[in-house]
Structure formats: structure tokens, C-alpha cells
Chains A and B, each alone.
Chain A
Amino acid sequence: QQQVKQSPQSLIVQKGGISIINCAYENTAFDYFPWYQQFPGKGPALLIAIRPDVSEKKEGRFTISFNKSAKQFSLHIMDSQPGDSATYFCAAPGTSGTYKYIFGTGTRLKVLA
């Protein structure tokens, strides 16, 4: 069974701090690697995604760092705000040809005011 390992399971950060969530995948499929953000009572929403041919992508306070050789990628939230408190999921492509993405186990982030 393919897995996408996400850590930490939960994270508490002070307002203004940096939140870092890590993801490790198994497959070698060439496709985007996304992060999703889910607020309570809502569906996950695409936050940011990176192609595997670049090592970093930044959108506002959110940055993805990608290490293809290690099969790892991480989400950095700079200047974390209470409004960033949510559950974050990484996702990685499954076996080539299966047309599915496998989600990580989720990280519950709480940003203290």
C-alpha cells in the first residue's frame, strides 16, 4: 500500500512564527505536489502546488520546498497568523497510470494570538 508520510501530526505556533510541515512520498511519478488547507466544517482547498523540476515555490507567506532525491517536500508558513489555523494535507501522485493522488495523514496547525 503506497503511503505519504506527513509530520508533525499537530503543531502549535505563536503568531508571527514559522510553521513547517513535512511530507515524504514513495512513488516516482512526475507530476505536481500539492498542499491543501482544510478549515473545520469545510472541504480541503488547494493552497499551493509545486512541479518536481523546481526546488522551491513561494506564494505570499506560503512556500513549498521540494527535495526530489530524498522524495520529500515541505510547507513553510511565514509570519503565521491565527487565521492559518487549519488542517493541512500534502498529496503525492500514486503509481504511474493509476490517476490518483494519495493524501498525507494531515497536520492540525494552531496559531496562537
Chain B
Amino acid sequence: DTAVSQTPKYLVTQMGNDKSIKCEQNLGHDTMYWYKQDSKKFLKIMFSYNNKELIINETVPNRFSPKSPDKAHLNLHINSLELGDSAVYFCASSPGYSGNTIYFGEGSWLTVV
């Protein structure tokens, strides 16, 4: 049983398109995240939700919009994709607010051409 699952795993799309990545966790955690990992492997937090409430919103272009329909799901919608958006996007969850124990999904590899 996959604890944090995200789809799609691979996504190749053209500049200007809109795309979504879906995420679900079956760990019963209250907090979910989106992280971006660039080509140099740097991991940066983008958003965090606790019980469907947005608690972290980093400096991310507003083309990126998260949505949490319930505490087990956190989706990421990206409008007007740009070349620089190419990266691996990780969904993650943790039991509590602090994020000291984070469980990551396998990643969604986004390539914008």
C-alpha cells in the first residue's frame, strides 16, 4: 500500500499549457505539502496544508494553485506553464504541524518543452 501517492509520475507538456498533479495520502496525517526539486536536487517547500487550511505559502508564482478538498488530498494546478517549471514535484505529508517527520511521495517529473 502506497502511503503518499501522486499522479502522474511523468508529464511532458508544452509551454503555455495548464496541468494538474494529484496527491493522496492514506496515513491519516493532518498536514500535506508540495515540494519542488530542481535539477541540482535542491528541495524547496511550496505549500503546506493542515486539515485543508493553507499554513505555508512560499514565494511561488501565482500560476501555481494548490487545492485540498479534504485532509487526505492535496492537488497542484499549474497555469501557463513555463520552461523554468520543469522539475520534480513531490507531494508529502506529516502527522502534525511542525513537519519534523515528512513522508514523501515518489514524485511527478514535469518537463515543459
Interface residues of chain A, those whose CB is within 8 Å of chain B, are 31-32, 34, 36, 38, 41-46, 49, 87, 89, 91, 93, 98-103, 105-106, 108
Contacts and interface: CB of A to CB of B under 8 A. Distances in A.
A44 B88 CA distance: 12
For A36, A43, A44, which residue has the most chain B Cβ atoms within 10 angstroms?
A43
Given A89-B43, A106-B41, A34 B105 contact: no
A49 B98 CA distance: 14
A49 B103 CA distance: 13
Given A98-B56, A99-B56, A100-B56, A45 B104 contact: yes
B101 A32 contact: yes
Given A49-B100, A98-B56, A100-B56, 16 more contacts: A32-B100, A32-B101, A34-B101, A41-B107, A42-B107, A43-B92, A44-B43, A44-B102, A46-B101, A87-B41, A93-B100, A99-B50, A99-B97, A101-B99, A101-B100, A108-B41
Interface of B: 4, 31, 40-45, 48, 50, 55-56, 90, 92, 97-107
Minimum-distance CB pairs A-B, first 7: A43-B104, A32-B100, A103-B43, A106-B41, A101-B99, A99-B97, A44-B104
B109 to A, nearest CB: 9
B13 to A, nearest CB: 20
A99 B101 contact: no
A43 B98 CA distance: 20
A27 B37 CA distance: 23
B98 A99 contact: yes
A34 B100 contact: yes
Contact of B43 (A31, A34, A45, A106): A106
A28 to B, nearest CB: 15
B55 A99 contact: yes
A63 B31 CA distance: 28
A91 B4 CA distance: 20
